[in-house]
Amino acid sequence: MPDYDQSLWRQTCGESIKTQKLSGDVTVDIAVIGGGYTGCSAALTAAKAGASVCLLEAHEIGHGGSGRNVGLVNAGLWLPPDQIRSHLGQVPGNRLIDLLANAPSEVFGLIDAHEIACEPVRHGTLHCAHSAKGFEDLHTRHSQLSVSGAPVELLDANTSRKRTGSPAVHGALFDPRAGTIQPLAFVVGLARAAQDAGALIYTDSPIQSLRQEAGMWVLHGENGTVRAKSIIQATNAYHQGIADTAPAYVPVYYFQYATAPLSHNLRASILPEGEGCWDTGLIMTSFRLDQEGRFIIGGMGDLNSVGGFAHKAWVSRKLVVLYPQLADQPLVEGWHGRIAMTSDHIPKIIQIGPNALAAHGFSGRGIGPGTVFGRLMAESLLNDDPSLLPVPPITEYCESWTGLRRAFFETGAALTHLVKTRF
């Protein structure tokens, strides 16, 4: 069986970092658990502020969703602004909306400041209507985003087809704040920048337990121990061990396939202005080009599940529906990743103990929000100021029937992919 945990991004990553396993005893101001966007952003922030910090990753930097996602650097969450305010309240809702509106600028600013080789393209994104009903939904989003100050533009079907090169698009919402990156290279670059600032980066170093002892947190690994004044747990959908602080979420899988690099003529007919795209379908589709001209298309589903055959068959059909000129292009790479989804699609910050915070639940929007949340969690702990957090912290969070709901989502995705876009 193919190894769907190994993404194309591993092969094309332009960043590298030398790390070591945790060994012996280490004492720091802040210990960060998890080497994704949130954890690496937190470690970089703390180290730049002069704090002693170590980051502990159970596998390798970007092992989880940060190394497997689409690479769309979007502003905001999946939810339109009115729903965010409805869930959080007017004041905290507006604060989160404003913070995440600037998330792409923060990401691309870090890329520039630390010269991260991650194929950054800030030409915006297109949220594409997959149907006439989808275009109605975009009207609503456009209205709410415009009132909130977002410089978004609603494009009609003809304009959208010219911008995408696809005859299957019924309209689009263009967001010029956004862009695309090589997602694994960005997170490795963040870790490298944190290390350059003085952070200790440990990989292949799972934490087996943590406890408080004499006012310090004590984290036990296989071959070492970390003592820290504060903790940031940033494991999201790839949490392992430490059962007492396991995040509650519904695990949802998202897969992608890529072609070989396209010819110059084919590349010129597809997304000529370089936007990244996703659509309004309930079972969403994403598509983009990478720096080498590979066409990358994705959808919801677990490639290792019993419905994996339906996902694989669907993606080949969908490719041709979107771009008939790619009918003879084989899909040569396939991979998937896990998303931590909350019921309300709002990320959570949990106060797991004194001076200890955990974040999870980005529901597929990890790059911008994860980077912002990591920075603000570190700043909050360093300044002992919870008001700096992007959302109010809570002491516990529960999700019911997570296994059943995961099965529901996977079954729905498999059935949709089995019957949709058939010829």
62 neighbors 187 (Cβ within 8 angstroms): yes
148 neighbors 31 (Cβ within 8 angstroms): no
What is the spatial distance between Cα 388 and Cα 378, in angstroms, rounded to a whole number? Answer: 9
User: Coil, strand, or helix at residue 414?
Assistant: helix
pLDDT of residue 332: 93
User: Coil, strand, or helix at residue 32?
Assistant: strand
This prediction's pTM: 0.96
pLDDT in tens, 60-81: 999 999 999 999 999 999 899 9
pLDDT of residue 1: 60
**Letter for the amino acid at 406?**
R
Is the model's pLDDT at 423 over the cut of 70? Answer: no
Residue count of the chain: 423
Is the model's pLDDT at 14 over the cut of 50? Answer: yes
Backbone angles phi, psi at 139, to 5 degrees: -55, -45
pLDDT in tens, 369-422: 999 999 999 999 999 999 999 999 999 998 887 787 777 777 777 788 887 654
% of residues, the chain, pLDDT over 70: 99
**What one-character-per-residue DSSP string does 304-370 give?**
TSTTHHHHHHHHHHHHHHH-GGGTT--EEEEEEEEEEE-TTS--EEEEEETTEEEEE--TT--HHHH
Strand ranges for 57-206 from DSSP E: 72-73, 125-128, 153-155, 172-175, 179-180, 200-202
For the chain, domains (ranges, CATH) are 8-419 (3.50.50.60)
pLDDT in tens, 99-116: 999 999 999 999 999 999
